[in-house]
Amino acid sequence: MARSRIVEFEYNNVFGRYLGVSVDFFVKNALWIGLAIGSGIMLLLPAIKRGAGTSVNASDAVLLINRSHAVVLDVRDDAEFAAGHIADAKHIPLAQLPDRLKELTRFKDKPMLVYCESGARAGKAVSLLAKHEFKQVQQLQGGVKAWQDAKLPLVKG
């Protein structure tokens, strides 16, 4: 029994010398360490899922449209588009996007702003466009709802 304590002491002493902590710290706090690592992964998961594209808020989207002459792509359904959309937006519903990518190939190297009602469909569209080598694709955070909350105009029809 005395020998195992000596070995344990030497083991902890070696780690304590190099790491500045003992193994007992990790054993006693394994639950908290696991929780911290899990939380970090959960925070990074949306960024990983989003893929190559980034997202911009409504005011940055206005700057992107006005200064960089971004192509605006609306991926909502026909009825949603008719109810109101951003001026000069190209309308391709998300369900049709894979079949209609040829219409957008001339814009592969230009800035592109993709939006939907709240952001979920736009995220899928951004991932699809990034897979097809569109280089400057960005998503409107919060979609049309965020655009309207920022008191920005929509065109009907």
Query: How many beta carbons lie within 10 A of that of residue 105, not counting itself?
Result: 10
Take residue 151 and report the two structure tokens written for it: 């008191």
Three-state DSSP string of 47-93: HHHHCCCEEECHHHHHHHHHHHCCEEEECCCHHHHHHCECCCCEECC
Which residue among the candidates 58, 75, 94, 116 is catalytic per the annotation?
Answer: 116
- Rounded to 5°, the CA angle 157-69-155 comes to 15
The yes-or-no answer on residue 116 being catalytic is yes
Map tokens 């009907």 to a residue: 156
**The dihedral of CA 138, 107, 81, 49: what is its sign?**
negative
Active site residues: 116
